[in-house]
């Protein structure tokens, strides 16, 4: 399993997990976050490995589809990048300006 795909699925899961069914959430969390194998999940839920695989594959597509339509994750990444650049700029150009520092801190708190 690719690390990049795992990281992406974990990120998408964080944004869209509440839109999934309980079983979808459980399978995805066990597989991607907890690194369970298909066999371990199948044993836990008393289903076939194929059923687990199909559910995870289908749920991954659902998460990608949500992201394609809603852009929550990609927008978050862009906002984080811009906030980092803005923070660096303010620290370089206006290191003594406490008002700007306060605004940056408030934005960061919102993003968390």
- Residues of the chain falling short of pLDDT 50: none
Q: Which residues contact 62 (CB under 8 A, 6 or more apart)?
A: 20, 24
What CA–CA distance (Å, rounded) separates 100 from 102? 5
What is the model's pLDDT at position 1?
54
Residue 80 burial (CB count, 10 A): 12
pTM (predicted TM-score): 0.84
What CA–CA distance (Å, rounded) separates 70 from 67? 5
Task: Give CA separation, 86 vs 80, 90, 93, in Å.
Answer: 10, 6, 10
What is the model's pLDDT at position 61?
98
Please, what is the Cα angle at 49 between 46 and 52, to 5 degrees?
80
Digit-coded pLDDT (tens) for 32-59: 999 999 999 999 999 999 999 999 999 9
User: On the CB side of 36, how many CA atoms lie within 13 Å of its CA?
Assistant: 19
């Amino acid at each position: 399993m690719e690390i990049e795909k795992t990281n992406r699925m974990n990120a998408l899961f964080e944004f869209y997990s509440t839109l999934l069914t309980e079983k979808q959430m459980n399978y995805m969390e066990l597989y991607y976050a907890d690194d369970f194998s298909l066999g371990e999940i199948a044993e836990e839920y008393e289903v076939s490995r194929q059923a687990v695989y199909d559910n995870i594959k289908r749920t991954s597509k659902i998460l990608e589809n949500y992201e394609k339509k809603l852009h929550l994750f990609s927008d978050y990444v862009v906002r984080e990048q811009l906030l980092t650049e803005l923070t660096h700029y303010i620290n370089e150009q206006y290191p003594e300006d406490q008002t700007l520092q306060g605004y940056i801190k408030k934005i960061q708190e919102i993003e968390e």
